[in-house]
Amino acid sequence: MKDNPYYTIAFMLVVSAVFALMLSLTNEIYLPRIEANELLEDRRAVLYVFELDTEGEAEAVLDRFEEHVEEQTIADIQLYVHLDGEEVLAYAIPISGSGVWGTMNGYVGVSPDITQLTGLIFTEHSETPGLGGRIDETDFLEQFRGIDISEEVTLAYDDRLDAITGATGTSNSVLNILNNVLDEKIRELEVALNG
Amino acid sequence: MAENVRSVIARNTWKENQVLRQILGICSALAVTNLMTNSLVMGLGLMFVTALSSLTISLLRNYTPYRIRMIVMTLIIASYVILVDIFLKANLPEISKALGPYVGLIITNCIIMGRAEAFAQKNPPLLSLLDGFFAGVGYTVVLLIISFFREFLGFGTLFGYEISFVSFEPWTIMVMPPAAFFIIGVLIWISSNLFAPKGKKKP
């Protein structure tokens, strides 16, 4: 009976259906939680580029975000603004581009007069753990705070910036993504802000 | 020729350790062993997947048409891996992020397919469950040994806790992938000396 082709097809269908059902159910149950985690991660990232405290329970982090940050659209760019009352302290611009293994997403922070970077962070990437994945480490990310962008600059690894290692394409991907954003979105933002 | 429980345990944990004696699952053993926490979670994930996929494959072994058995195995293994991935994302987001693509890659870990083909395919369910589970234990033990040295020497921490009674300059190389090669090489050397069949002249 096991060699009967109809049996084979039926067996495969039944097995697939059972496992697909099991997975969909699990996904359904956990989805709200996964989405909440992702939102929290995103909020933390924005707080990080604004040099705000990212520690604490989920609730505290979300409250802090509500208190200091506002979502705005300037020059067709969706961004987050760090506000102190009416005064703008910084902008966080979403960045995206291709890494070595997949798309990398994150935020870059710029000062309100567009002269300095306030921070950089990646929220999503699939770089090699332990190699390219080390772009998540604060030693690397902290270097981007206060980088001067007041003149037309193309960032490179020089005496201001150290790559995680030259042995991964991730290092170049990070710069490419940043330079693209500097060339386009940040210039557009500058134009929009200065009239 | 059913094996007894004890020999299944001893074989999988030491004598025919999947990583050191069969040289399977090396890729992830090199990649996720820079921190002990990551290694432990990866090991637990693999134990869960090998144990349950071996059980399921063994339960279905008399009904599975021989020609499509590999497809069925892959389907079962992939389902359990996705389950682990969803669970980590929901409950341990930090670790899920640190392990990145390696959780998904458990699917291609040769240990699981190896146990399915070599054991679960022709042994009763409970014994297969044990076999899969202890193959995972063997893998986890090796990962923990490697990551012990890498985390201790590379960061001066264990499971993320600062080890304060000794202080030394951390060895950056231990954090980087090559260190895992050195350590795993030494472990394979030791285990070959202990467990390789005696009397045969090695090339």
Share of chain B above pLDDT 70, in %: 95
pLDDT, residue B198, reads 67
Kindly report the average pLDDT of chain B as a whole number.
Answer: 85
The chain A residue lying nearest B71, using CA atoms, is A12
Residue of A135 and B198 predicted with greater confidence: A135
Kindly report the average pLDDT of chain A as a whole number.
Answer: 87
pLDDT, residue B111, reads 87
Contact partners, residue B143, CB within 8 Å, separation at least 6: B19, B29, B32, B33, B39, B40, B42, B43
C-alpha distance from A133 to closest chain B C-alpha (Å): 8
pLDDT, residue B77, reads 93
Who among B71, B89, B102 is closest to A34 (CB)?
Answer: B89
C-alpha distance from B66 to closest chain A C-alpha (Å): 8
pLDDT, residue A63, reads 87
B71 to A12: CB separation less than 8 angstroms, yes or no: yes
C-alpha distance from B157 to closest chain A C-alpha (Å): 16
Residues of A with CB under 8 A from a CB of B: 2-3, 7-8, 11-12, 15-16, 19, 22-23, 26-27, 30, 33-34, 37-38, 41, 101, 126-131, 133, 136
pLDDT, residue B201, reads 57
The pLDDT-based confidence of A195 (bands split at 50, 70, 90) is low
How far, in Å, CA of B11 to CA of B127, rounded?
Answer: 13
Q: Which of A118, A126, A111 is nearest to A168 (CA)?
A: A126
Radius of gyration, CA atoms only, chain B:
18
C-alpha distance from B138 to closest chain A C-alpha (Å): 23
Q: Residue B63: its chain A contacts at CB < 8 A? A: 2, 11
How far, in Å, CA of A48 to CA of A108, rounded?
Answer: 10
pLDDT digits (tens, 9 = 90+) for B46-69: 999 999 999 999 999 988 888 888
Q: Residue A127: its chain B contacts at CB < 8 A? A: 100
Q: Please give the distance of CA B176 from its chain centroid, rounded to a whole number.
A: 20
Residues of B with CB under 8 A from a CB of A: 31-32, 34, 38, 60, 63-68, 71-72, 75-76, 79, 82-83, 86-87, 89-91, 93, 97-102, 175-177
B86 to A34: CB separation less than 8 angstroms, yes or no: yes
> Domain locations in chain B?
5-195
Q: Residue B177: its chain A contacts at CB < 8 A? A: 130-131
A126 to B100: CB separation less than 8 angstroms, yes or no: yes
How far, in Å, CA of B82 to CA of A27, rounded?
Answer: 9
Average pLDDT over residues B171-184: 84
Average pLDDT over residues B96-103: 77
Who among B90, B101, B175 is closest to A126 (CB)?
Answer: B101
Q: Please give the distance of CA B108 from its chain centroid, rounded to a whole number.
A: 12
Share of chain B above pLDDT 90, in %: 32
> In this structure, are residues B146 and B183 in contact, taking their beta carbons and an 8 Å threshold?
yes
pLDDT, residue A124, reads 86
pLDDT, residue B59, reads 93
